[in-house]
Structure 1
């Protein structure tokens, strides 16, 4: 090869290398710029949500809405509307007008390419209180104050007279505007004499704050019969945790997004409805907030410097919150082993149970290891029991689910002098402790649970005194970071697979009959569901429908009592899992 050719090739090669380096630098720079832009967007959104959860913001928005609304008389011919007035539900629309005669109002949200969404609004505080008191009274009389389904609420509301729900002033939220498309909202106003008036509102749906799907992928589409059974309840997605901005979402039975509720961070674990017409939820590890039916945050309780909440909470008979928690001031860094009480009137926080003291012997046998899911930056944590559910029972006791020991634990007098009543699970986990004698006897041939979640106590008036059901999501996963030498395969059928994609593993929906008088528990129902070693939830929706969230797969489904899938939905995961999915009827809150 001549020297001139070699020189030419050298120049060409050098030019190619130079161009490649330049292109690489440009791509690197572009990626760096894109990352910086994304980070600024996340920071702005975080700041926006933090502002929403301030008293000043809520007051300012309330004053602005009132001024606009009351600038003229609002009748059916001049209806006032405002999208997401308090910043707490992106796709909601506030509606206000008056009528000459007492009436009820229903609405239908329509958008091209999407199924219609129809609901009957609760249009006054008086109507909301009437419905809520009826529901709570029914739950109290049966003992079912724990996880009411939409069908339970439907049956109660059907006994409330329509006249008591009618009003001449109509103020409510329309849920479910489809984002960034034309929405037609048809209002049907029905007077007590049966006369109907309709009005139509056209509104472009707002842009979402998050990146969630507007329509979930339906891997099993519900048929018309199943849709009828599911009713008008909404699936609340509780904890599709994100490294950016966290939300709670509402989806209808067609898998269509009907609500986007931003939270400060972490997640809401369940929704609680009090007798004052307020919905309580956790907005962070430090904050319990109460929202009214119009979306305004009317209370925001900060837990202070000592405690952070963890995974679950319940309303007691006085309307105060009893919550699982971590004590941040412990010198041994034990986590997820406390129960606290939050006075919803004063905001005072008090300790009810320190399980490190109650079960000191067992705790001392565990390895000092673990993480704090409520605080991912924490180090040297001791997650020796890891409670994930608390259910307040009608005798003043509480039933708790302890993931790390795969045990369900009943504590008597939870708000007084707490004392262990019984345990359900594999007794050998507690070998060598006095608590081992507290296990109920198993009746029948079935394996015990592994890392169970979302336990629910269910009373039944047909059962004798001292008997009730407990149903749950059995992760069927045998592992405890603080018990590395324990052989979990002593539990029949349990999996030790860490991956939710393990083809040989499954989780289960399970239901026990507990007989306190006999000191026994019996499995009365179970069926296999997709595998999730951690998190997940279960909820009975009706006599024959059960909602199950397989959290680590981002899939939730509705099953009949034989385990036959009637509907199934998948959601893109923000990071690792969806913590829970519960269906709520929202009667006496959003709906009449």
Structure 2
């Protein structure tokens, strides 16, 4: 490999262009801690930051940012001897760097971010469908904040010839107070391959400013995406865009360079909570709360957001479908997505939605510790089956809807992050479900129910109890026999609420124990391979999922 040129230290020039200059001031301020009687000054800084982040999530800001970027970039030509870079041009990822240049020969580009005291971060940049373009435009992820970064670009042509070019660049100032490197409470053994995906940390909710974070498998921060408020719940990829929630009301589609191409607010009748999924038409189906209800019911609606028009339409009111059960519950609870709300009727509390190819959908209902399948969700929805402790539903008329348990194992308590796995080796009508089983029996709307009927369940929601455990669980569902059985299970650190599970492509299992701020990678037998701890902003990390970002950020 031949290194042709090493460029001197260079800093991104920030131009005062319209709405962009105000953000630059806020970035410089960051969220620095104040001392003594300066809490009001800190509060004012946070308020300004909140306002500027809200401005980023507008079409006007994104258009102004794009026009400014193009004007600066195109003021002169940029070849390999004058690579154009700009920090976070669209305001959507603090530690990202926009890169543009042309080369004489068609090449793919691999970049390595290096900083003293940190592991290198290497990825092949995704540049579109062309394998060996001569025009190179991409986003470098992973600049380490507050230190000098060396970014080495390796250009490889179709004959395999490599040329390298390097620049130095100051790492940015973070907007938040998150750790640049997480504590690894369990470090992987030498030779353990954790892959090169990024852990997307979603929902370390803050009273100050909310973010979506990317961390690599060394626990190093590689992305800080500011949100308007609340949290992102998962990332969805469709037609070159990455969709996520930026607030309880806003869904956005971001392109690979960080530009928000689509910014949609739900109709005034709804706010989203906890989860969403892409349907077969590329529209987004969301769990929602209907606002302004006389009965104050929350977290029991399903709506659809048209990703072409931004129109919101209702699909399912669980309160109508399961009206007889709803009437057996008491008015209790809060609206977790609206902390100021009280006396909310949180009788079901759906926390996960999974869409199935046949038009059905599977939901996790935390308040009832039940998994529910609904057929024909976008047509005429009807109940197909339930999984869980049937006695929770005694007297409601839905007892016959439960699949029969095949085997001797305890049912779930307040489960989260259920995931459907279709397996071509299984007969039609069979598939797998896996989840984070919180193993906590409690329902504020069923105060008299005795959860001890569920074998092994915890009834004290104390994370400091060393004997308490949550579980990763995997079921085989057989709709033909109307049964389910447990095929895999192992204990994980206890979290009575929130949390997530994800089976990774390499066969490992990623577990987020949300209320302890822990996430770890396990082997299939439950052996902990690596574990990370994140300082909690308030009370929990909602979810952690790993994404490879292939065909988006990376080739």
TM range (shorter): over 0.9
Q: Any idea what the Cα deviations from partners look like across 1:526-547, whole Å, max 9, x if unmatched? A: 0000000000000001353100
Q: Residue 227 of structure 2: which of 263, 274, 283 is its match?
A: 263
Q: Which residue of 1 aligns with 2:293?
A: 330
Q: Residue 401 of structure 2: which of 438, 450, 463 is its match?
A: 438
Residues 266 and 284 in structure 1, CA contact (< 8 A), matched pair in contact too:
yes
Q: How far 1:183 moved relative to its partner? A: 0.2
Q: Relative to 1, partners in 2 of residues 1:82 and 1:543: Cα closer, same or farther, differing over 3 Å?
A: closer
Secondary structure of residue in 1 paired with 2:319: helix
Distance (whole Å) between structure 2 residues aligned to residue 483 and residue 557 of structure 1: 33
Residues 267 and 311 in structure 2, CA contact (< 8 A), matched pair in contact too:
no
Q: Which residue of 2 aligns with 1:192?
A: 158
Q: Which residue of 2 aligns with 1:26?
A: none
Q: What is the correspondence of 1:6-405 to structure 2 with a 5 Å cutoff?
A: 33-124=37-128, 127=129, 164-226=130-192, 228=193, 230-274=194-238, 276-405=239-368
TM-score (norm 2): 0.93
Distance (whole Å) between structure 1 residues aligned to residue 489 and residue 38 of structure 2: 49
Q: How far 1:32 moved relative to its partner? A: 6.7
Distance (whole Å) between structure 1 residues aligned to residue 36 and residue 286 of structure 2: 43
Task: Give the ranges of 4+ consecutive aligned residues of structure 1 lying more than 4 Å apart after TM superposition.
Answer: none
Q: How many residues are treated as equivalent by the alignment? A: 522
Q: Any idea what the Cα deviations from partners look like across 1:360-394, whole Å, max 9, x if unmatched? A: 00000000111000101012210000000000001
TM-score (norm 1): 0.87
Distance (whole Å) between structure 1 residues aligned to residue 550 and residue 190 of structure 2: 22
Secondary structure of residue in 1 paired with 2:98: strand
| Unaligned 5+ runs, structure 2 | 1-33
Secondary structure of residue in 2 paired with 1:78: coil
Q: Any idea what the Cα deviations from partners look like across 1:291-329, whole Å, max 9, x if unmatched? A: 000000111101131100010000001110000000002
Residues 222 and 254 in structure 1, CA contact (< 8 A), matched pair in contact too:
no
Q: How far 1:196 moved relative to its partner? A: 1.2
Which is higher, the Rg of structure 1 or of structure 2? 1
Q: How far 1:195 moved relative to its partner? A: 1.4
Q: Which moved more, 1:418-427 or 1:97-106?
A: 97-106
Residues 122 and 165 in structure 1, CA contact (< 8 A), matched pair in contact too:
no
Distance (whole Å) between structure 1 residues aligned to residue 38 and residue 451 of structure 2: 47
Distance (whole Å) between structure 1 residues aligned to residue 442 and residue 353 of structure 2: 21
Secondary structure of residue in 1 paired with 2:64: helix
Q: How far 1:232 moved relative to its partner? A: 1.4
Distance (whole Å) between structure 2 residues aligned to residue 342 and residue 216 of structure 1: 36
Q: Any idea what the Cα deviations from partners look like across 1:510-533, whole Å, max 9, x if unmatched? A: 000001111110100000000000
Distance (whole Å) between structure 2 residues aligned to residue 99 and residue 470 of structure 1: 49
Q: Which residue of 2 aligns with 1:150?
A: none
Q: How far 1:224 moved relative to its partner? A: 4.1
Secondary structure of residue in 2 paired with 1:478: coil
